Structure 1
């Protein structure tokens, strides 16, 4: 395995991880920001008010985009296995 191939694998890994995790992270980040602004304006400092909605939002995004995430990870895995078979032979 050459340095170029290794760099390509590492880049593909990082891009795939970012693609798969980005929808959940973005939704939870935006929701957390909205909730924190709401808490600051109303001066409600309840800890479960921040945790439960973010947990529910992450679950909803996971339900709706789970098949796409699985397809993306399977595609990445197939590319890695193809690369392994080319290196071994």
Structure 2
């Protein structure tokens, strides 16, 4: 029994989404935890203190992982287009 090409493409797209999303999410989680502990210890409840470190870390993470993310998305898109072309040729 062969797998539906649409389901296969959807599963691979979801897996790629998870792979690309975990570095920024993990960085945001870590910085959020650190800032929360720092705010609890110092009792400084400033909103910008929670936001600005997250913004800076996100920028750094995206600068570091951005090229790899781009290559992964290009690879997936290339595979998807190749499959579309192959499926189009099967109808004949």
TM-score, structure 1 as length reference: 0.92
My pick for the range that moved more, 69-78 or 3-12, is: 3-12
1:16 aligns with 2:16: yes
Cα distance in 1 between the residues matched to 2:33 and 2:63: 22
Q: Provide, for residues 8-40 of structure 1, a one-character-per-residue CA deviation record: whole Å limited to 9, x for no partner.
A: 111100010111111111101111011111111
Cα distance in 1 between the residues matched to 2:64 and 2:34: 22
By relative contact order (CA 8 Å, sep 6+), the higher-ranking structure is 1
TM-score, structure 2 as length reference: 0.89
Match of 1:51 in 2: 51
**TM-aligned CA deviation for residue 45 of structure 1:** 0.3
In structure 2, runs of 5+ residues without a counterpart are none
Match of 1:39 in 2: 39
Question: What is the number of equivalent residue pairs in this alignment?
Answer: 88
In structure 1, runs of 5+ residues without a counterpart are none
